[in-house]
Amino acid sequence: MENKNFFKSSLFIKIILLGSLFVILLIGGFTYKHISNLTNSTKVVVYTYEVNVELERLNSYLIDAESVHRKYTLTKDTLYLAPSLIARKKINNSFLQLKELTIVNIKQQENLIILSKLIDNLFLNFDKTNRLVKNNEISTETFKTLFFEEKVILDAIRRQVNEIIELENKLLKDRQKEYQSDLQFTPLFFYFVLLMTLVIIVMSLNKINIDLIKIKAKNDQLLIFKESTNQSEIIGKHGNWVWHINANIFTYSDNLYRLLGEEPQSFEANFDNFLKFVHPEDVDRLTKDLDRMIVNEELPFVSYRIVQKDGSTKYLKAYAKAFFSIDGQKRLLGITSDITDEIENFLALEERNLELERNNKELSGFNYVASHDLQEPLRKIQTFISRLEDRESDKFSEAGLQYLERINSAIKRMRTLIDDLLQFSRTTKPDKVFVVADMNELFENAKQDVAVLILEKKAKITCDLLPNAQVITFQIQQLFLNLLSNSLKYIQTGKAPIIKINYETVKAKDDPNLVKATKSIYHKITFADNGIGFEQKYSEKIFDLFNRLHNKQDYSGTGIGLSICKKIIENHQGFIFAKGKINVGAVFTIYLPVN
Amino acid sequence: MENDYINIILADDDRDDRLFFTDAFEELRMNTKVNTYNDGVELMDFLNSDDAIMPNVLFLDLNMPKKSGIECLNEIKASGKMSEIAIAIYSTSASEEDIEETFVLGANIYIKKPSDFKALKKVLAEVVSINWQYHTNSLNKDNFLLRM
């Protein structure tokens, strides 16, 4: 967008420049025309004066001729006839001169013809009178008439001359008027045009200045951008390259050279030079990719190895896409990044995962063997004891029988321990299937498992309506069972157990227990009993494996049940908390995320 | 007459278990003939021998050296002449995996070795008196594991 504006403004400047040139040429033309007009006017003035002067001269010649003629008439001396001839010659010359001067003016030519006829008449008259004078016929009527005619012709000539002069003067006046108006208009016009040119030039300069400032700001931005790109390339371990397709030229960024372990711009940027660094096993594949890039003008994600000059191998990943610049040039912009760290991390992680998997397998194998192989001798001891009790009981003393019973109860305890351990290890196994289940049903199933105990202890159990939830069913059932067993086990002597199960949904942000919650809404189920309770300081410890708060004689238990509960809850991304008060009861609160 | 008694075979590597097993049948006084084999190889050698008399019920321990109960089960079900034998898995553990696998492989019943001799006698008496024809037809995963 910015670039487009820039191009627009450059076009604008060109137009202004052409406009200014045109205006200056116009001024030149006008000036030339005005000056030539002025010259013409001057010429006309000079010419008019010349005409006037010539006419005056003609006039004086005529006067000369007349005076000579008069003198001859008076004196009859032929001496005066010669100057008359000369005057005539001079008049003719003067007349020719006038004719030439007024050659462009038809009106004046006509006037001159009239004048010439009048002059001819005058001289004809002179000749006639001269002849009369010669014959001494001065007092005749003819002479008088001729003499009078002479005066009339001279008057006519003078009038004619005046007329020509007047006409010339009039012409001169007109031309002067024209010249004057030209003269008046010219400076105004010049001033106006000059002003226009100045305005245009100032505007252009201003525009250029603004553009320059903009370009400078853009340049600054570009510099900053370039530097930040450089920095980010160094930090992000990637480099960029551009393939100018039309010119088949490559440019590599500085950091691309660094990725190859080379100094920036230390070799010519092209395919062949780059391929020298590519791992021999990857050269073929990459070459094919690059060939395809030339055809498709796009490079999908490719990864390959390079070998730096110091022999170290790096993993690179590249991607490129075609890009059209404003002037229509096609380019391929590519990014190549060093993914060695990622690959190494990934490999290390994979190694670690495999190790964990192996450990897990070993552990579960150990679990199986432990539970299975430990059960076998136990079972046999039990069976042998049952054989002893059946067949040999009469041979035992009272104490012997009691020992047998002790052995039996120890074995039973051992068996429970193994069963619980097995249960715990099953809870840890990763094969969990989450299904939507009715938790009321799961709770009822758990209740069924301890139905005998409930009857025996005369327990009262109340339970809210529980929701449906996405759970691992057998685990949740186990959880309910363990919590119920717990409440039925740790009862106060002589007090029938009362177990209350309450349910509600809570928002994580409203519940102080859910500070670490990752979901927003939770099912909250509380198990409250009136049993022996526990000291609040053990509220976290009771979930630890094999942790017991009571001795085995008072309360049976392996210290695994609540650990299993915690594990199950963790499998469901939930939370479990215990609250206790000695001889008042215990409250277990579990939170399960709502989907 | 050979067919007058119920022919029973137990394959178990455990000496004590074999003892309990034979003692139990002795005390039961049912019309049974009990043979025991110490591992899977011994069992299969016998079953594959030409003059072998096929048992009515074969009790098969799973955890045995040389050849496990699962391998034996596989071979028996693959062979034509042995496929009619009723097979009772007789194992210490009753893990879901074992139950699942042996059920799929075609065993008829799964017994978890009891830890009481009286219980053992009761279980064996029950298994021997099962009508296998009827039991096999209505066999499903729920009644596969024998619960006492």
State pLDDT tens for residues A498-537: 999 999 999 888 888 888 888 889 999 999 999 888 888 8
Burial class (CB in 10 A: 0-12, 13-18, 19+), A253: buried
For position A1, what pLDDT does the model report? 42
Q: Tokens representing A481?
A: 């069972």
Distance from CA of A350 to the nearest CA of B (A): 28
- Interior/surface letters A477-510, b for 16+ CB within 10 angstroms, e for the rest: bbbbbbbbbbbbbbbeeeeebbbbbeeeebebee
Q: Do B92 and A379 touch (CB under 8 A)?
A: yes
Q: Tokens representing B128?
A: 């021997």
Nearest to A386 among B16, B92, B117 (CB): B117
Nearest to B117 among A372, A375, A383 (CB): A383
Q: Tokens representing A271?
A: 């395919």
What residue of A is the nearest CA neighbor of B23?
A387
Q: Do A386 and B16 touch (CB under 8 A)?
A: no
What residue of B is the nearest CA neighbor of A411?
B115
Packing angle, helices A398-428 and A340-392, rounded to 10? 160
Nearest to B115 among A371, A382, A390 (CB): A382
CA-to-CA separations, A144 to A81, A340, A386, in angstroms, rounded: 20, 142, 202
Distance from CA of B109 to the nearest CA of A (A): 20
Confidence tier at A588 by pLDDT (50, 70, 90):
very high
What residue of B is the nearest CA neighbor of A385?
B116
Q: Do B116 and A380 touch (CB under 8 A)?
A: no
Angle at A339 between CA A334 and CA A340, to 5 degrees: 140
Distance from CA of B11 to the nearest CA of A (A): 16
- Interior/surface letters A83-119, b for 16+ CB within 10 angstroms, e for the rest: bbeebbebbeebbebbeebbeebeebeebbeebbebb
A370, pLDDT greater than 50: yes
Distance in angstroms (rounded) separating the CA atoms of residues A463 and A487:
14
Instruction: Give the position of tokens 């820039």.
Output: A6
For position A493, what pLDDT does the model report? 85
Q: Decide: B86 and B93 in contact? Cβ < 8 Å.
A: no
- The model's pLDDT over A284-324, given as tens digits with 9 standing for 90+, comes to 988 888 888 777 877 888 889 999 989 889 999 999 888 88
For position B2, what pLDDT does the model report? 47
Distance from CA of B61 to the nearest CA of A (A): 12
Which residues of B are less than 8 Å from A383 in CB distance? 16, 20, 114-117, 120
Q: Do B116 and A390 touch (CB under 8 A)?
A: no
A343-430 CATH = 1.10.287
Element spanning A313, H or E: strand A313-324
Residue A575: which region, alpha, beta or left (left: phi > 0; alpha: psi -120 to 50)?
A: beta
A457, pLDDT greater than 50: yes
Which residues of A are less than 8 Å from B114 in CB distance? 379, 383
- The torsion angle over the Cα atoms of residues A66, A68, A69 and A71, rounded to 10 degrees, is 120
Q: What CATH topology corresponds to A432-593?
A: Heat Shock Protein 90 (3.30.565)
Q: Do A371 and B93 touch (CB under 8 A)?
A: yes
Q: Do A376 and B120 touch (CB under 8 A)?
A: no
Distance in angstroms (rounded) separating the CA atoms of residues A298 and A319:
8
Task: Identify the residue among B115, B118, B121, B124 best suited for mutation to test binding to A, counting A beta carbons within 10 A and taking the highest.
Answer: B115
For position A71, what pLDDT does the model report? 83
% pLDDT > 70, chain A:
96
Neighbours of A467 (CB within 10 A): 15
Domain ranges across chain A: 2-206, 237-338, 343-430, 432-593
For position A2, what pLDDT does the model report? 45
Q: Tokens representing A538?
A: 């053990």
Task: Identify the residue among B28, B96, B116, B123 best suited for mutation to test binding to A, counting A beta carbons within 10 A and taking the highest.
Answer: B116
Residue B38: which region, alpha, beta or left (left: phi > 0; alpha: psi -120 to 50)?
A: alpha
Q: Do A387 and B117 touch (CB under 8 A)?
A: yes
* Strands of the B86-91 sheet, one edge to the other: B32-37, B6-11, B57-60, B86-91, B109-112
pLDDT average, residue stretch A390-415: 87
Distance in angstroms (rounded) separating the CA atoms of residues B144 and A337:
60
Nearest to B113 among A368, A379, A384 (CB): A379
Confidence tier at A10 by pLDDT (50, 70, 90):
low
Question: Which stretches of chain A sit within 8 Å of chain B by CB?
Answer: 368, 371-372, 375-376, 378-380, 382-384, 386-387, 390, 415
Domains for chain B: give ranges and CATH numbers. Answer: 2-144 (3.40.50.2300)
Nearest to B116 among A371, A375, A386 (CB): A386
Distance from CA of B54 to the nearest CA of A (A): 29
Which residues of A are less than 8 Å from B69 in CB distance? none
What residue of A is the nearest CA neighbor of B93?
A372
Element spanning A114, H or E: helix A106-134
Classify domain A237-338 by CATH architecture. Answer: 2-Layer Sandwich (3.30)
Q: What is the pLDDT along chain B (148 residues), one digit of tens a residue?
A: 445 788 999 999 889 999 999 999 998 888 889 999 998 888 999 988 888 888 989 999 988 888 889 999 999 988 888 888 889 999 887 778 888 899 999 888 999 998 889 999 999 998 888 877 777 777 777 778 877 6
Q: Do B118 and A376 touch (CB under 8 A)?
A: no
